[in-house]
Structure 1
Amino acid sequence: MNSILISAVSSNQGKTILSTALLYYFKNSVRPFKIGPDYIDPQFHEIVCNTKSINLDTFIMNKPQVKWLFNKYSNKEVSILEGVMGFYDGMDKGCSAYDVGKLLNTPTVLLLDASGSYITISAVLKGLKTYKEDNTIKAVVLNKVSSKMHFELIKKQIEQDFQGENEIKVLGWIKKDLQSLRDTHLGLDLKDAKKEVLENISKEVLENIDLETLKEISLYKKEAITNYPFEEIKKINKKATVVYDENFSFLYHDNLETLKELFDEVEIISSTKDEKISSNSDFVFIPGGYVETKEAYERVKTSQNFKASLIEHANKNKHIYAECAGLLYLSNSVDDKEMAKILKVSFSLDSKRVRLGYYHSQSGLKGHAFHYTKPLDTSLGCDILSKKINSKGEVGAWKKKNVYGTYLHTMFRNNINILKDYFGI
């Protein structure tokens, strides 16, 4: 099989554009992965190649668990991993592209912005290559190149500076001002992308890239993993409901698979289609997403049957677990937007970020939070989210009987023992 990690020196360097082109090129035989807790890029990946993208996060999970996860889902001929931020960003949390690449021994292709430079590109590359000698950097693609002559200047310098054991392959270049992007509103929003648009982008991005050499450097032998590095999942004779739609779309695919392994039956319903929770459901999971924006709230207002069934579920003292937007939906309101009024808390939408990054909860969960809303009253909160274990933090979760809502996004497979109370097991 083949496995390749796409990274860069920072965000907004074109990782998603290159990843998109490669995913489309290998679309019939590729599994996409995203390093870190991101929910948006995996949705792009799935749209491009019609295969679920898997998050690899070495903060939320430990190293053996991430290796197991990668092994489980690397079930296609090609695995493409999209990095997070810059190559080394996240090292302080143990979850950078460098960390995951080293852990999985996956070759890395760096995408470097060549605009307004040529020799300095090689100096930047040397810094990246030598900062940590055990990195997996094997090749480079140059982005925003003005001409073939510009590319040849940079290529010559890199080949001169990186020889022998330190050789770095120069796979090719992407020209600046791509016509396919000028002609569409695509940018990083692939939800409206048509097949011909993706095909045009793929062709233009890969036009000057040596794909045969890329395949050669990305040859990969899967590691045989026999140990299951998690608490054993014992199936229970209960039914779970997962809400998954335009409003609640921040769903880690492995969380869904874990619930399918845990519960005897799992139904997936859409609140935005106003579908009801089955009366025989024992547990409801509402993922994150958006309910506070104008567009999302219009869908909330027209989902009255769903809302009624959720309230009925709560009134029967059945279990509900909700993350972020799910938490907001369970609340009384967000500003003047009325919600389900199951949890006795209200929120306001701020213009400034309230949380961003990895957090620990007092209950023992590790996860990620990113939101602009804040509670009007924290007195009824039940859990504290903090940047470090046992450090000062702020309320980030609320509970009422068997209903639990939290700002924290986490992964279920390695937290089954903690989540059992919320699942009613």
Structure 2
Amino acid sequence: MPNTHPRLVIAGTHSGAGKTSVVTAALAALRARGVPLRPFKVGPDYIDPAFHAHVTGTPSRNLDSWLLDAPVLRGLFARAANGGLSLIEGVMGLFDGKGSGHEGSTAHVAEILDAPVVLVISAQGLSRSAAAMVAGYASFHPRVRVGGVIVNRVKSARQYGLIRDSVEKACAVPCLGYLPENPDFALQSRHLGLVPSQEVAELDAVVAHLALAAGETIDLDGLMALADGAPPLPAGELPRVEGSFPVRIGVARDSAFSFYYQDNFDLLQTLGAELVFFSPMRDRSLPDALHGLYLGGGFPEVFAQALAANGPMRSAIREAVSGGLPVYAECGGMAYLCVSLADAAGTVFPMAGVFPHRAVMTGKLQRFGYAEAEFCRETVLGPAGTRVRTHEFHYSRIEPEDGTEGCYRMRKDGVTPWRGGLASGNVLAAYPHIHFYSNPSLPRNFLARCGAFKAGRP
């Protein structure tokens, strides 16, 4: 009987080992063969999934074992993975998770899904030492199975042969090929990770180079055999979410705002919402007949000039908010709702002006990592006391901070609790990113508020 959920995790020894290049190459080469693909990304990342989607034409979904309970994670995976070969790109190094623990790591997701792992190692400065590295990763956790190795940034076929022979002799783990060192394969980075796919010049040419290399130097048949050999997927369970809300939600989506979980969109649509995408950079007005707005994160600081130049859109959002339109904004979306945004050079650009605060880019990371949020007051997502697991990652800060009583009480291990978030009327804006399946009552509450607005109730 064929495997209904062929799957494998492609993990790295560390950040920068080349996971995204290898995954992009493998996806492109397998798609060229006509293999139906289902891409996934471990952790709270929005940029890598966009590369997956660009290559495969299929949405890539996040699998986060700290934000999501294991049965829910398995349920979401099973629903999206059915009918294709699933390639799951890891995050950071294989065993790096929340703090020094297992939770949230690529290894934890591999364990939850009972998926074999292909370990990506960098060949830079290595030959036989690669065997010691692989041996350590392969034996570190008894329920995480390293089933293969791909070597990245290889200088020559001879170097790969030395590494392959050393690894296979010492570890009994097969090497499944390599990618050569080639500047044409490089994916550029900036302050929040890789430069997003929609900004990469000649991305299709880069993908074509990677696909060609993968077809020549990666054992694609071996990858598929390893994925097909995964055991039956453990049972999952999705939470029962009741309610039907036939409302139209405007979703800001362009180069400035692209940080969304695909599962969030899916859940909103399951609850009856129609999602209407628009561009705060290019569109001169909001879509017609909206009952709510969803403004995700992204890079408004990079595109601040274009956002500021679109005065009609900024005015339309202010007017919609003053008319009571429910709004939920995360991170970069919150910056856009401030009165101004100062970029890294100190240039100040006018924004939508819903809040009298200023968003200011700084030269260092302000907050990074997982944290739990508790609502200090009623918001469009729920009543006071509501709790949800979240993730933050930002270089900006909101000013003034003094005298601003945040609507979230944030808690993180080893860190003094803090307050964050802005709320006024039907608007909630905050730095933390929320996966709606962490607490499905939140999107339901938001859509209920949008339904009340549609019905003319405050």
Same fold (TM over 0.5): yes
Q: Which amino acid aligns with 2:114?
A: N
Cα distance, 1:262 vs structure 2: 1.8
Confirm or deny: 8 A CA contact 2:297 2:331 kept in the other structure: yes
Confirm or deny: 8 A CA contact 1:26 1:78 kept in the other structure: no
Counterpart of 2:361 in structure 1 is 349
Counterpart of 1:61 in structure 2 is 68
Cα distance, 1:383 vs structure 2: 1.5
Cα distance, 1:179 vs structure 2: 6.1
Deviates more, 1:15-24 or 1:254-263: 254-263
Residue number among 230, 243, 249 corresponding to 1:240 in the alignment: 249
Q: Does 1:13 align with 2:22?
A: no
CA distance in 2, matches of 1:173, 1:185: 20
Cα distance, 1:168 vs structure 2: 1.2
Counterpart of 1:417 in structure 2 is 441
Confirm or deny: 8 A CA contact 1:113 1:144 kept in the other structure: yes
Question: CA 1:195–1:418 in 2, change beyond 3 Å: closer, same or farther?
Answer: closer
1:248-259 → structure 2 map (5 Å cutoff) = 248-259=257-268
Cα distance, 1:196 vs structure 2: 4.1
CA distance in 2, matches of 1:87, 1:197: 26
- DSSP 3-state at the match of 2:392: strand
Q: What per-residue deviation string (whole Å, max 9, x for no partner) do you get for residues 308-341 of structure 1? A: 2211221112210000111011112223222111
Counterpart of 1:400 in structure 2 is 424
Of all paired residues, the percent bearing the same amino acid is: 27
Confirm or deny: 8 A CA contact 2:9 2:110 kept in the other structure: yes
CA distance in 1, matches of 2:68, 2:16: 26
Residue number among 19, 26, 33 corresponding to 2:30 in the alignment: 26
Deviates more, 1:275-284 or 1:122-131: 275-284
Confirm or deny: 8 A CA contact 1:59 1:93 kept in the other structure: no
- DSSP 3-state at the match of 1:139: strand
CA distance in 1, matches of 2:444, 2:392: 21
Q: Does 1:101 align with 2:118?
A: no
Question: CA 1:417–1:81 in 2, change beyond 3 Å: closer, same or farther?
Answer: same
CA distance in 2, matches of 1:155, 1:131: 20
Deviates more, 1:152-161 or 1:353-362: 152-161
- DSSP 3-state at the match of 1:236: coil
Question: CA 1:173–1:290 in 2, change beyond 3 Å: closer, same or farther?
Answer: closer
- DSSP 3-state at the match of 1:207: helix
Counterpart of 1:276 in structure 2 is 285
Deviates more, 1:119-128 or 1:255-264: 255-264
Q: Which amino acid aligns with 1:136?
A: R
Counterpart of 1:174 in structure 2 is 179
Question: CA 1:90–1:264 in 2, change beyond 3 Å: closer, same or farther?
Answer: closer
Q: Which amino acid aligns with 1:287?
A: G
Q: Which amino acid aligns with 1:385?
A: M
CA distance in 2, matches of 1:218, 1:226: 19
- DSSP 3-state at the match of 1:98: helix
Residue number among 233, 239, 243 corresponding to 1:223 in the alignment: 233
Question: CA 1:193–1:385 in 2, change beyond 3 Å: closer, same or farther?
Answer: farther
Residue number among 350, 371, 374 corresponding to 1:359 in the alignment: 371
Question: CA 1:333–1:197 in 2, change beyond 3 Å: closer, same or farther?
Answer: closer
Question: CA 1:337–1:385 in 2, change beyond 3 Å: closer, same or farther?
Answer: farther
Q: Does 1:265 align with 2:274?
A: yes
Q: Which amino acid aligns with 1:74?
A: A
Deviates more, 1:145-154 or 1:184-193: 184-193
CA distance in 2, matches of 1:318, 1:210: 53
Q: Which amino acid aligns with 2:271?
A: L
Cα distance, 1:65 vs structure 2: 0.8
Cα distance, 1:108 vs structure 2: 0.7
- DSSP 3-state at the match of 1:152: helix
Question: CA 1:310–1:152 in 2, change beyond 3 Å: closer, same or farther?
Answer: same
Q: Does 1:373 align with 2:380?
A: no
Deviates more, 1:42-51 or 1:230-239: 230-239
Cα distance, 1:235 vs structure 2: 1.3
Counterpart of 1:151 in structure 2 is 160
Report the count of equivalent residues: 415
Confirm or deny: 8 A CA contact 1:402 1:422 kept in the other structure: no
Counterpart of 1:51 in structure 2 is 58
**RMSD of aligned alpha carbons:** 2.4
Q: Does 1:382 align with 2:393?
A: no
